[in-house]
Structure 1
Amino acid sequence: MAEKDELLEHEHDGIREYDNDLPRWWLAIFWLSGIFAVLYVGWLHFGPGLYQDEALARDMKALEEYRTEYAKKNAGTAGGEVGESQLLAFAKNSDRLLTGQNVFVKNCAACHGENGQGIVGPNLTDNYWIHGGTITDIKRIVENGVLEKGMLSWKDQLPPDELNSVVAYVWSLHGTNPPNPKAPEGQEVPRS
């Protein structure tokens, strides 16, 4: 004969409960949670979890090594003034040129064309320059812009390493002869 569910005498807001056992999966979760809590506290306070300060020291050392490597790679670009010789060296660094090309395509190609051939902005591949054609002139123009011609100042828009990379990339565009170049503008400034 089957057991009959019994109603408890307890009543709340007109609701009476049956005297049923909790589902087994609820009990399993309850007991597993308790076991996990005991094991975790033991691991954290008496086991390998106790040595979190060593893990922090290891991670801080790795971070310091990364920062040192980054500083060597970007020598002279993080907060300091980059001179002509450094910019010319950047123009020979393939990583810098790739970064500069990505920044150029993203920010400059709308006016200067993807290959620097000039659209609204001037052609950057020939010997003619409106505001000076040395690499330091190019940096000054990129940093400060030429508002009367519609070019924005990029010194507050780009991090120094990206700004210097795009200057190096523009310098490297000289003599590339892209298709459909814009007519020369400004004074001829031959490269030496």
Structure 2
Amino acid sequence: MYERVRPSWIVRVVLWQGWGTTLRVGLLLWATAVLQGILAPAMAIRGAMPDLFLLMLGCLALRLNPSAAAATGFFAGLLHASMLDQTVGSLIVSRMLAAFIVAWLPTLLDRQRWLSACLACALLVLLANGLLYLVAPSITGWGWWSMTLGIMVYHTLLAVPAYGLVRRVVPPYQEAIE
């Protein structure tokens, strides 16, 4: 008489490991938003200011499956775009696609190694900023790319402590979305 109600695919993606993991990832993104607004301008070196959203997204992409990483990229892009005066759609799309691609890295790398986080964060910055440049080109040209390289170096240095935090907060990876 009563059929079991099956949640939609978006609910299954967001709650891929249950409410606990979803809330933990949400709290990490919220804390990243606060730190991006407070600490990032003070940490700028030679014009290269760390993009803490990309740093956290790179570390989370190693711990999440690709669908959940894309959903996390969407929310990270939405939060980051709300803090900036940039085009919201292009920032969201670049973060989503970059997180989805980086989430496939564990097929080539070991997600337990700390140096994998350095590579994932550097690659995520390159992909996200490259996609953003393709979708919403910047007038500055080379200055923008040199700033991107500076951010890549910055994130390579910050990736190990950030990945250590993510490994403590987010539970181990599960293969399938049920």
**TM-score of Structure 1 vs Structure 2, range by shorter chain:** under 0.3
Larger radius of gyration: 1
TM normalised by structure 2 equals 0.27
Higher strand share: 1
Q: Which has the higher contact order (CA 8 A, sep 6+)?
A: 2
Higher helix share: 2
